[in-house]
């Protein structure tokens, strides 16, 4: 529903060498280590107090609790593990999941939100600093995902990006289930604190929105006649960036390319089509001799001219429209409402002339701090076909207030070829002030330098506002 890149892109296959012998042991450990109870408000408060303390002594606690959990590979599940570890680094997501669970507390079995609930428990476990090394199992979340799509645990070829899109759309779907059922309930049916929450004027769906969701502005214009279709806004939860066929490029260049004005040659232009229909009717009118036909043609002509002078999208079902494909059309997409979490997918699939696919190993230079402002609309939308929807402005030190700054939180990397390989994650360690980074490959967790992170062959990037 929210995917811009829903076309059937071949995915990177994974064939993990990691064994599964320790699965049962780890599942037992995991079951013992995680409470089966949903998050209660009290627990949430306790955790808030705790995290405040941690913020005050971030470096101190990093020394005292230097470890983070790894994830056991349940057989080709590195694509899942890499996504879970990336998601665990995102504070907006953790806040969102907790809120959803609090809202759904009145439903004792949480049947409305199985994925939200199990993801909440998993990312909580993964984001917790520990005194000792620990490996947990993703079995809980895998079981919930499997109920939605049985191939997740059975298929041999899996893709981390494809899985992310499914998880994100299911989170939105589950939130709608929770809040639509809540909205239909009278506050009298809800107890104390929840009743207060639900009786607020605000629509809870707006208060708790999937943090990956942003909106982009799309414009199509015909250069031939100057017509611009209505600028439409679409929701997205991730953006797929096509990489150039070069050895290296920058992320900003990819975003520049994504938001630049593109040329199309197959757009059916409404204004060109109505103009051509008008000419055709006028010719018929010149040749017509019978009075009833002349009268009918005049009426038809008047309706077309009315549409041309006013609303081009007026439906004219009984008039045969001459379809004109414009030879020169421009298309542009820009960010209209940037999301709290920006997920960028670096599309590394190359389609060869022999029908095969290959991997594009272009090294993408990405920043720790990303300013999205040059790729966003600014409220003044242009309908001129050859001008940008909004003027790109480079953020200079003088207009810092215009910048829309994101901080890099995690990176999914893919090793290997297009058809087989392995997914792993680089993620920021602890809270966002931390400059320490982790490299996590299934159950192996190690501390690394930022330099290593910035030189990796990124497949997905997660930035947070
Ligand atoms: Zn046109």
Write the pLDDT tens digit of every residue in 108-167: 556 678 899 999 999 999 999 999 999 999 998 998 888 887 666 665 658 999 999 999
For residue 116, give both structure tokens: 């939200």
Report CA(270)–ligand 1 centroid distance (Å).
7
**CA atoms within 13 A of residue 64's CA, in its CB half-sphere:** 7
Residue in the block written with tokens 């994504």: 258
Report CA(324)–ligand 1 centroid distance (Å).
8
User: Do the bridges between strand 267-268 and strand 363-365 make them parallel or antiparallel, or are there none, so unpaired?
Assistant: unpaired
Report CA(393)–ligand 1 centroid distance (Å).
29
Q: What is the pLDDT of residue 181?
A: 60
Over the stretch 233-262, which tens digit does the pLDDT of each residue have?
999 999 999 999 999 999 999 999 999 999
Report CA(325)–ligand 1 centroid distance (Å).
8
Report CA(277)–ligand 1 centroid distance (Å).
13
Report CA(276)–ligand 1 centroid distance (Å).
10
In this prediction, residue 413 has a pLDDT band, given cuts at 50, 70 and 90, of: very high
CB-count exposure of residue 299 (10 Å: 0-12, 13-18, 19+): exposed
**Helix H or strand E segment including 345:** strand 341-347
CA dist 128 and 117 (Å) reads 17
Mean pLDDT over residues 332-358, rounded?
A: 94
In this prediction, residue 208 has a pLDDT band, given cuts at 50, 70 and 90, of: confident
CA 257-79-345 angle, 5° bins: 10
Question: In terms of pLDDT, which residue wins out, 430 or 370?
Answer: 370
Report CA(326)–ligand 1 centroid distance (Å).
6
In this prediction, residue 31 has a pLDDT band, given cuts at 50, 70 and 90, of: very low
Q: What is the pLDDT of residue 399?
A: 57
Report CA(275)–ligand 1 centroid distance (Å).
9
Work out the mean pLDDT of the chain and round it to a whole number: 81
Q: What is the pLDDT of residue 371?
A: 96
Return phi, psi of residue 330, to 5°: -115, 145
Report CA(256)–ligand 1 centroid distance (Å).
26
Report CA(438)–ligand 1 centroid distance (Å).
53
Report CA(273)–ligand 1 centroid distance (Å).
7
Q: What is the pLDDT of residue 397?
A: 54
Report CA(281)–ligand 1 centroid distance (Å).
18
For residue 59, give both structure tokens: 């470096």
Decide if 283 contacts 276 (C-beta within 8 A).
no
Report CA(12)–ligand 1 centroid distance (Å).
41
Report CA(318)–ligand 1 centroid distance (Å).
22
Q: What is the pLDDT of residue 153?
A: 62
For residue 254, give both structure tokens: 């990819």
Checking 274-280 for CB contacts under 8 A at 24+ apart, the result is 274/304, 274/307, 274/308, 274/312, 274/321, 275/225, 275/308, 275/324, 276/322, 276/324, 277/304, 277/319, 277/320, 277/321, 277/322, 278/304, 278/305, 278/308, 280/322
Report CA(296)–ligand 1 centroid distance (Å).
27
- Evaluate if residue 394 carries a pLDDT over 90: no
């Amino acid at each position: 529903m929210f995917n811009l890149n829903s076309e059937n892109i071949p995915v990177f296959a994974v064939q993990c060498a990691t064994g599964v012998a320790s699965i049962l042991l780890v599942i037992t450990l995991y079951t013992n280590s995680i409470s089966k109870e949903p998050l209660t408000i009290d627990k949430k408060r306790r955790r808030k107090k705790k995290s405040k303390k941690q913020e005050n002594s971030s470096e101190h606690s990093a020394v005292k609790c230097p470890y983070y959990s790894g994830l056991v590979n349940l057989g080709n599940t590195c694509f899942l593990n890499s996504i879970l570890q990336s998601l665990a680094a995102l504070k907006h997501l953790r806040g969102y999941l907790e809120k959803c669970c609090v809202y759904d507390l009145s439903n004792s079995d949480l049947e409305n939100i199985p994925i939200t609930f199990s993801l909440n428990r998993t990312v909580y476990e993964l984001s917790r600093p520990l005194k000792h090394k620990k490996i947990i199992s993703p079995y809980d979340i895998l079981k919930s995902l499997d109920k939605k799509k049985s191939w997740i645990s059975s298929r041999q070829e899996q893709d981390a990006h494809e899985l992310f899109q499914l998880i994100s759309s299911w989170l939105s779907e589950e939130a709608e289930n929770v809040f639509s059922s809540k909205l239909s309930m009278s506050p009298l049916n809800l107890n104390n604190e929840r009743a207060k929450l639900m009786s607020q004027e605000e629509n809870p769906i707006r208060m708790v929105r999937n943090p990956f969701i942003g909106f982009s502005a799309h414009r199509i214009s015909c250069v031939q006649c100057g017509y611009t279709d209505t600028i439409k806004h679409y929701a997205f939860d991730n953006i797929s960036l096509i990489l150039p066929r070069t050895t290296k490029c920058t992320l900003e260049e990819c975003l520049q390319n994504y938001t630049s004005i593109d040329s199309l040659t197959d757009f059916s232009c409404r204004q060109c089509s109505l103009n051509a229909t008008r000419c055709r009717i006028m010719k018929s009118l010149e040749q017509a001799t019978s009075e009833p036909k002349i009268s009918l043609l005049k009426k038809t002509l008047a309706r077309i001219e009315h549409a041309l002078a006013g609303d081009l999208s007026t439906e004219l079902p009984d008039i045969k429209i001459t379809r004109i494909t414009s030879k020169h059309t421009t298309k542009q997409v820009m960010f209209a409402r940037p999301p709290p979490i920006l997920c960028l997918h670096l599309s590394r699939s190359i389609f060869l002339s022999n029908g095969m696919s290959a991997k594009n190993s272009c090294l993408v230079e990405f920043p720790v701090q990303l300013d999205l402002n040059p790729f966003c609309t600014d409220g003044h939308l242009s309908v001129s076909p050859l001008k940008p929807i909004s003027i790109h402005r480079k953020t200079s030190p003088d207009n810092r207030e215009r910048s829309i700054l994101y901080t890099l939180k995690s990176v999914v990397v893919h090793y290997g070829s297009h058809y087989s390989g392995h997914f792993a994650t680089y993620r920021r360690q602890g809270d966002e002030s931390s400059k320490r980074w982790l490299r996590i490959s299934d159950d192996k967790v190690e501390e690394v330098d930022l330099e290593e992170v910035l030189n990796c062959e990124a497949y997905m990037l997660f930035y947070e506002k």
